[in-house]
Amino acid sequence: MLFSSRKPRSALSDLENFVNDLSGLLSSKDLDNVPKIADLRARLDSRLTDARDALVDISDQAAQRTREVAKAADTYAHEEPWRVVTGAVAAGVLIGYCLSRR
């Protein structure tokens, strides 16, 4: 089947889920009786903080890039409206032609 009813998950959301699961594991007190667990928890907690910071940075960069692209598209549409209209009409005709051939 070409299209699935399941929504695709992004690698970013998978990484966020992994970080949240690992954070929950670290907060569990079941592992307190294992030797050297405090050192391991400290290292993992530090790396989790770094991973969360990286996720925030990636998200901020993606949002900034999206705003830049949207502003560029808006500027282009205001400077060249007939080119945008012509492109939209051409795309509509092509899509209509393709759908009528079914």
Could you report the per-residue pLDDT of 64-85, keeping only the tens digit for each? 999 999 999 999 999 999 999 9
Q: What is the pTM of this model?
A: 0.53
pLDDT, tens digit, for every residue of 3-56? Answer: 444 444 576 677 777 777 777 777 766 766 666 777 777 787 788 788 888 888
How far apart, in Å, are the Cα atoms of 75 and each of 14, 65, 72, 80?
A: 35, 15, 5, 9
Give the position of tokens 């790396």.
47
In a domain, 63, yes or no: yes
In a domain, 89, yes or no: no
Residue 27, token pair as written in the block: 């907060």
In a domain, 29, yes or no: yes
What is the tally of structural domains in the chain?
1
Range of the domain at 32: 11-76
